[in-house]
Amino acid sequence: MTMKEEDLSLIKRYPIVAYLERKGIKPVRRTPAYALYRSPLREETHPSFKVDTEKNLWIDYAEGRGGSIIDICMRLEDCTLSEAIHRLGQTTPDDTAYSSHNNFAPNKSQPANGARKLMEVSDTLPPHLQEYLTKVRCIDLEKARPFLKCISYEVRGWRYQAIGFANPSGGYELRDDKTFKGTIAPKDITPIFESKAQPICLFEGFMDFLSFLSMKEEVNNYCLVMNSVSNVARTVHYLNAHNLTHIQAFLDNDDAGRRAIQELIKAGFNVEDMSRYYKNFKDLNEYHVSCVREQQKKLEKTPKTSNKVKQVKLKIR
């Protein structure tokens, strides 16, 4: 991926404090020159993670490592250098988030670092995004449609479209048919089927929730999509406020997913880790896609049967 040097320079000027705040990570102490945090890279009680707000660099004293916003994005989001640059170039706060941190105020006519401007929200997904959901992610479109919007947004004068999944604060999680993942702020968790029973089914992202929806004939449980494992604290607050104590967690099979489950257990919830049912897969959607592909292969080998693929049921209580 090629990128102009001035674009990379703009990304590195995006305040680390603003990036962390968008992930729900707040400093323990803030001065005009620095912000001090409990490290977002691990569990700790004493703050050892410092952001120099003048140089816009971070250091983790416990690890003896640090760097730019690109380095912390790679660590927190478990992504490559090119992916981090792409995500930061697409996922930047609005102008007010910039001007509320540091002295870096962008030109309003040209949002700094490609800030995303929401242009239009539609109920109708274009064919290429529908095809991505059904063919690549194996999502039952009829079940998924009520939860999805087509979001048109603009970055540096270029218009883009993405699948949008709303949260109650007016923000959207975005996905396209390639590798783009982003957010239209504000970021928040998304509760669904709030009148249904416990245990509450907890998902890291909306694609896993849509997979669950596609696998089940009927969903009888309260559901909650965190829209990022960085929203664990917000999730805990919500669950406590609504007296929800029993969780079935359909999180990713990675360190971040496991840490989130441990945080929920520490917070006193009765947590059933459902990832054991798809332990050989990255996440619930990858497992769902594998099940659908297997069934398609079986149908292809069996002549004179209906061409319609039967619904893959989630073999979980």
Give residue-wise pLDDT tens across range 168-192: 999 999 999 877 888 888 889 999 9
List where CATH 3.90.580.10 sits in the chain. Answer: 5-113
CATH of domain 190-289: 3.40.1360.10
State the angle between helix axes of 5-13 and 69-76 in degrees (0 to 180), rounded to the nearest 10: 70
Fold category of 5-113 in CATH: DNA Primase; Chain A (3.90.580)
**Beta strand spans in the chain (E):** 29-30, 34-37, 49-52, 57-60, 65-67, 117-122, 148-155, 158-166, 172-175, 181-184, 190-192, 197-203, 221-225, 246-250, 270-273
What pLDDT is recorded for position 65?
86
Whether residue 156 has pLDDT greater than 80? no
- 9 — pLDDT class (breaks 50, 70, 90): confident
Model pTM? 0.63
List where CATH 3.40.1360.10 sits in the chain. Answer: 190-289
State the angle between helix axes of 232-241 and 255-266 in degrees (0 to 180), rounded to the nearest 10: 30
What pLDDT is recorded for position 25?
87
- Residues 285-305 have a mean pLDDT of 88
What pLDDT is recorded for position 95?
32
What pLDDT is recorded for position 233?
93
